[in-house]
A and B are shown apart, each in its own frame.
Chain A
């Protein structure tokens, strides 16, 4: 029988590794060691990881190999390495959220996601870099230095989950986990040529996910292929009584949908408000090309209008800072993390203010103050209250659109990856990167970014966003997998194979 796997271990996708591990062609220790070696080789340049625990990863891999050898029935992702965003707690493993205020803190408990990864025997390699408390679109706002885009080390890998996306594109890990509050999974996926999914709000437990904006945050899978994302999605998602917003309903069969990969007869809506003017020419070109591919595959593509999406960015930058300023009040220097200025005479309030001044970076301070402003008496109705009404109107736009079509599509981001430093002190320019991804977070439905090609002007990856109704996550995988396969057939290889060697 022909081997399942050919070529370099680090370049294999998770589904191939899964088959090879099951067939006994390779061990988890070999796969894990290959990833660890790759990390030592390239991560000085990429800086995707904030923490790597080689010994723990190898011990987990060894245990899984032994259990497999003993004939134990293991899950499909057993023995496969994964990079975990540093915003999810893992007992005894440093969790900084990219912030100096949590430097050195080791959480006393596992997030539900980590519990599920352990139960599925996934090998966690370490924790990935991110914009501080997930506030940013470039990973430049990390308190520990930026992550670089493997496609061009002078450019950003997106954010806030730039570390997770870069780890995939640099072949440091076949799977990663991100969190998406306004695009932090999808935008990094788009600019690194990888796949990222924001599941339906409530699909994946938020227990142990350090909160940015509780009504928007959602963790999801990141991978190099749509099928790999589906396999990870299946492991992560499901009801959790420890998260009061968790959906108590069966998880849609996303793996079957990725296998189905058939868009014949599907109705796909092009969102008029997300595209055209303001989007880079090469992004539009690749997007138009992908639309033709979908039509050729037998989907019916029509234009749909979602008029209130034009106000999504404004509503988001009122709602998010408001929730963030409340959530981040917990970092007071009393129970965990940094404490500054406790000289024996300073009061608790002075110590709090000094701790937060020293521990938080510029973007976090900006958003805390913006949220404090939006929630002030006298401004509350005009800002926060009005933003919540706009949120209702955006949900209604989605509902009307999904009466006409099965999924909506748009470019994931208006541009390809920009240069490090270009927008770091220009918040309004930075916020625009998430203009197409934010509406989904506000409405709580689900979306995926799938790579579609390279922009002609700069040779950098472009992503297409697929949006589906709440609990319709399977549709994302059906469309994403169909598009991925058709583009692979045309190109003759996966787009990710074109990443320059590091």
Chain B
């Protein structure tokens, strides 16, 4: 049906230049704290390459002198009144916590073995 690049042949296959390797996928997964399986790593390598190829079209636009937009409504220094407001109810927060001990979140060890 529709294509990513107007006027050219519809393309949803991995046939472009970007090549995200399995090693890169593993690295990205590590950065994003995702423990991928072997199968997933293989699958995502192909898919991410194809997506990057498609989105790379933005580089065709000559935009050197164009300011970037990070936010559609430019606002800076938005303040609210500095008044105390009640925080969350502790019992509610505890009820939603995966693990709780002595009125605190219990977390796994944060330091390495060495």
Mask of B79-96 contacts with A, CB within 8 angstroms, 1/0: 011000000110011011
Mask of B24-66 contacts with A, CB within 8 angstroms, 1/0: 1100111111111100100010011011101111111101001
Chain A hits for B93, CB < 8 A: 108, 335
Q: A215 touches which one: B2, B28, B70 (CB < 8 A)?
A: B70
Q: A428 touches which one: B12, B67, B78 (CB < 8 A)?
A: B12
Interface residues of A in 250-297 (CB under 8 A from B): 273, 277-280
Measured CB to CB, the closest approach of chain B to A97, in angstroms, equals 14
Q: Is the CB of B2 within 8 A of A279?
A: yes
Q: How far is the CA of A98 from the CA of B47 in the complex (A)?
A: 23
Q: Is A366 an interface residue (CB 8 A)?
A: yes
Q: How far is the CA of A332 from the CA of B33 in the complex (A)?
A: 9
Chain B hits for A365, CB < 8 A: 29, 34, 36, 40, 44
User: Do A415 and B55 form a contact, CB below 8 Å, given A349-B33, A385-B68, A392-B69?
Assistant: no
Chain B hits for A337, CB < 8 A: 96, 98
Q: Is the CB of B98 within 8 A of A338?
A: yes
Measured CB to CB, the closest approach of chain B to A261, in angstroms, equals 28
Q: B35 touches which one: A310, A317, A332, A353 (CB < 8 A)?
A: A353
Chain B hits for A347, CB < 8 A: 108-112
Q: Is the CB of A278 within 8 A of B2?
A: yes
Q: How far is the CA of A20 from the CA of B33 in the complex (A)?
A: 54
Chain B hits for A470, CB < 8 A: 72-73
Q: Is the CB of A369 within 8 A of B48?
A: yes
Chain B hits for A493, CB < 8 A: none
Q: Is A389 an interface residue (CB 8 A)?
A: yes
Query: Which stretch in A37-45, A173-181, A240-248, A457-465 binds the other chain?
Result: A240-248
Question: Which interface residue of B70, B72, B98, B110 has the most chain A CB atoms within 10 A?
Answer: B72
Q: Is the CB of A386 within 8 A of B73?
A: no
Q: Kindly count the residue-residue contacts between A and B in the assembled complex, taking CB atoms under 8 Å apart.
A: 210
Q: Is the CB of A415 within 8 A of B1?
A: yes
Question: Which interface residue of A277, A311, A369, A372 has the most chain B CB atoms within 10 A?
Answer: A369
On chain B, the number of residues with a Cβ less than 8 Å from chain A's Cβ atoms is 65
Q: Is B107 an interface residue (CB 8 A)?
A: yes
Q: Is A395 an interface residue (CB 8 A)?
A: yes
Closest residue on chain A to residue B4 by CB atoms: A313
Measured CB to CB, the closest approach of chain B to A337, in angstroms, equals 7
Closest residue on chain A to residue B80 by CB atoms: A241
Q: Is A56 an interface residue (CB 8 A)?
A: no
Q: Is B17 an interface residue (CB 8 A)?
A: no
Measured CB to CB, the closest approach of chain B to A275, in angstroms, equals 11
Query: Which stretch in A25-33, A161-169, A354-362 binds the other chain?
Result: A354-362
Q: A317 touches which one: B37, B55, B98 (CB < 8 A)?
A: B55
Mask of A416-445 contacts with B, CB within 8 angstroms, 1/0: 000000000011110110010000001111
Q: Is the CB of A390 within 8 A of B40?
A: no
Q: Is the CB of B1 within 8 A of A372?
A: no
User: Do A366 and B48 form a contact, CB below 8 Å, given A215-B72, A352-B33?
Assistant: yes
Interface residues of B (CB under 8 A from A): 1-6, 10, 12, 20, 24-25, 28-37, 40, 44, 47-48, 50-52, 54-61, 63, 66-73, 75, 78, 80-81, 88-89, 92-93, 95-99, 105, 107-112
10 A-B pairs with C-beta separation under 8 A: A107-B96, A273-B6, A278-B10, A318-B58, A335-B98, A353-B33, A357-B37, A366-B48, A388-B68, A427-B50
